[in-house]
Amino acid sequence: MSKKVSPSILSADFANLEKEVKAVAAAGADWIHVDVMDGHFVPNLTIGVPVVASLKKVSPLPLDVHLMIEEPEKYVEAFIKAGSDYLTIHVESTRDPAAVLKRIRELGAKPGITLRPRTPVEDVLPLLPLCDLVLVMTVEPGFGGQSFMHDQIAKISKLRSEISSKKLKCLIEVDGGINAETAKLCHEADVFVAGSFVFGRNYAEAISILKK
């Protein structure tokens, strides 16, 4: 299966999001990655529900929404009503991640689970049957443009063997410091999130490099 690319609009021009989303779609992107931060779970504030709703109106691609917020259970319904296709929560952000993942599916979106670099991959394994997506963070969540953490690659292999041995349908996505070199190291992943790498150069060129 060829790799999917989900450009992170955190590195896009926020004054021209419609133009940016259409440009990466025309350049061959598969999904649009939307980083939602609350200033508590991570030390940064980004965008919320109204921006997702506005993106939904103009995006030809599915919205891959990454919630870096505490108590995601309070907000999943609003993010799904706004048009999130994939909705990913952090395993550390809530007491009962399984309940939140089930709720996301009931509300009609595709549930995803993710983990911080310091969280052991074992914490997400029991949740994989509830998910369409598992996201491996290869930087500390909070900001674009950070360096790839090589010590996270082993999590991708562990997830790949768990998914194949249990015949699960979960896609593996990787997020943080992805570029031409680091994407090669993550060849067992299905989806590459990339912010600064895509928005920092010719979009079509960047996306075609990641797809190879």
Active site residues: 35, 175
76 binds, among ligand DX5, Zn ion, none (CB under 5 to 8 A by kind): none
Can you tell me which of 30, 35, 38, 64 binds Zn ion, judged by CB under 5 A?
A: 35
Strand partners, 84: none
For Zn ion, the binding residues in 145-204 under the rule CB under 5 A are 175
CA distance 122 to 126: 8
Q: Which residues of 69-97 are buried (b: 16+ CB within 10 A; e: fewer)?
A: bbebbebbeebbebbbbbbbbbbebbeeb
Looking at the Cβ atoms of 14 and 166, the one nearer to ligand DX5 is: 14
Can you tell me which of 17, 23, 194, 206 binds ligand DX5, judged by CB under 6 A?
A: 194
Looking at the Cβ atoms of 97 and 195, the one nearer to ligand DX5 is: 195
176 binds, among Zn ion, ligand DX5, none (CB under 5 to 8 A by kind): ligand DX5
Identity of the amino acid at 136:
V
Is residue 38 within the footprint of ligand DX5 (CB under 6 A)?
A: no
Instruction: Please check whether residue 133 is in contact with residue 163, taking contact to mean a CB–CB distance below 8 angstroms.
Output: no
CA distance 135 to 159: 10
Give the residues lining the site for ligand DX5 (CB under 6 A).
8, 10-11, 33, 35, 66, 139, 141-142, 144-146, 175-178, 193-197
